[in-house]
Amino acid sequence: MNNIVLPSEKTPEITSTDETSLLVIILDSNPSQKTLRDNPHVLTQCVDSVIALANSHLMQKAQNKLAIMACHSKTSQFIYPGPEKPLDVRQIDGQYEAFTIVEKTTKHNLAKLLLSENSTVITESLLAGAIAMALCYIARIQRTKPPGAKLNSRILVVTGSGSSASQYMNYMNVFFTAQKQNVVIDVCALDQHLSLLQQGCDITNGLYLKVPQLQGLLQYLLWVFLPEPPVREKLVLPPPVKVDYRAACFCHRELIDTGYVCSVCLSIFCKFSPICTTCHTVFKVPAPLTVKPKKKKIKI
């Protein structure tokens, strides 16, 4: 006779309802971007598209969390949730209050940031710093989440800036930190191809897309960047492009194909130097290659 074994009482499984998705959007608002210099109205379109994406993210699940940052030439700051206490908003035209708060707070704080920074000096956007701030914010939310809850975090960078290797080390530091913290970095390039940020997407399993037409920005955002990373496997998304894995030399901050690497600290240089400028190791100057004269065969 077989004994029927009753299943032991299962520990309560954490279902998908306990999973929270945190989306941090970094919007490049630097006025020196080429797209904004050509047509300043593009920023309004970008902001509206980003707000629509943000609200769609919140609409997917009640537990979903959101943060929006503006990345400027001299500073990066959170525009939603802002530093001030949340705006007191009443329902307008049947719109859900939470969506109205996102829209009003984002626009209000962004306008304040744009008015406060009116310098004429053109500097590049501090994207690496903004990603670092986003990672700190994610780490804080991770620490304060209720026990047992699962938090999936990702960062979406929307930028029209050009690729610059001057922040190479900062980029690599934030990319590998994000990889260690299981944070996915997605990049939506508006104007030019960005090889360093593309490397970041590849390192963190994120998606990189150079928008073919700026007019259709919202469609690309909703189609490519709204679905969560686990859902993306089931979708037919734009095919991945070959990642440009060139590194920047530490001497001139330029992307190079081949170069010299210090065997002690792994610093990269485009020209041979007898002393490593990073760790001060002294190397022997390689002796010039001498070609030995071939022995003549004696003909018999």
Residue 182 CB, shortest distance to Zn ion, in Å, is 31
- By the 10 Å C-beta count (0-12 exposed, 13-18 middle, 19+ buried), 276 is classed as buried
Residue 172 CB, shortest distance to Zn ion, in Å, is 16
Nearer to Zn ion, 241 or 275 (CB): 275
Residue 195 CB, shortest distance to Zn ion, in Å, is 17
Q: Which two tokens stand for residue 126?
A: 């501090």
Which of 236, 255, 243 has the alpha carbon at shortest distance from 202?
243
CA distance 61 to 57: 8
The Cβ of residue 8 has, within 10 Å, a number of other Cβ atoms equal to 6
Nearer to Zn ion, 155 or 262 (CB): 262
Residue 192 CB, shortest distance to Zn ion, in Å, is 22
Is the bond preceding 81 in cis, omega lying within 30 degrees of 0? yes
Residue 216 CB, shortest distance to Zn ion, in Å, is 39
Residue 128 CB, shortest distance to Zn ion, in Å, is 20
Q: How many CA atoms lie within 13 A of 123 on its CB side?
A: 14
Q: Write out the residues near Zn ion by the rule CB under 5 A.
A: 249, 251-252, 262, 264-265, 267, 270, 276, 278-279, 281
What is the full DSSP assignment across 235-299?
Answer: S-PPPPPPP---EE-TTT--EESS-EE-TTT--EESS--SB-TTT--B-PPPPPPPPPPPPPPPP
Nearer to Zn ion, 206 or 259 (CB): 259
Nearer to Zn ion, 96 or 272 (CB): 272
Nearer to Zn ion, 25 or 262 (CB): 262
- Residue 28 pairs in a beta bridge with 71
Instruction: Check if the beta carbon of residue 295 is closer than 8 Å to that of residue 288.
Output: no
Nearer to Zn ion, 153 or 267 (CB): 267
